[in-house]
């Protein structure tokens, strides 16, 4: 029933706010920004199974609802790049551009770059 007490059939099954919060907590627990010796490939190997599982489960019906968590992962990767590379430190826009270039060069590296396109930044 709608808020006007009429029947309707539209329904968008998406990830709930609690599920999105748990996903962000999982990404936060990886502490990507603290692992400066690691490479993007290392993060891809670690993150891809989890992100693929989220995509398979929550992205089955309402795929655009997953873009928020994908952007969150990209922001964490930008923060990692700012700590790893001296030329990117203190430059948020430059680190976002660097990650966008990496997504263009290696579009199949991360699952969320493959399925949602390279909408980094």
Determine the pLDDT at residue 25: 98
- Which of 98, 59, 108, 56 is closest to 77 using CA atoms? 98
User: Please, what's the b/e burial string for 96-112 (b: 16 or more CB within 10 A of its CB; e: otherwise)?
Assistant: bebbbebbeeeeebbbb
pLDDT in tens, 7-44: 877 777 888 889 999 999 999 999 999 999 999 999 99
The mean pLDDT of the chain is: 91
- Would the pTM of this model clear 0.75, i.e. be above it? yes
pLDDT in tens, 55-75: 999 988 888 889 999 999 999
- Asked if residues 121 and 99 have their Cβ atoms less than 8 Å apart, the reply is yes
């Amino acid at each position: 029933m709608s808020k006007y007490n009429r029947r309707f059939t539209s329904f968008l099954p998406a990830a709930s706010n609690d599920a999105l919060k748990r996903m962000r907590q999982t990404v936060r627990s990886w502490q990507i920004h603290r692992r400066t010796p690691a490479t993007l490939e290392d993060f891809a190997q670690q993150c891809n199974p989890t992100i693929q599982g989220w995509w398979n489960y929550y992205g089955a019906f309402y795929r655009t609802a997953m873009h928020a968590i994908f952007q969150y992962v990209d922001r964490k990767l930008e923060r990692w790049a700012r700590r790893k590379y001296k030329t990117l430190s203190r430059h948020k826009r430059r680190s976002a551009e660097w990650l966008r270039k990496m997504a263009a060069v290696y579009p199949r590296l991360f699952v969320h770059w493959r399925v949602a396109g390279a909408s980094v930044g």
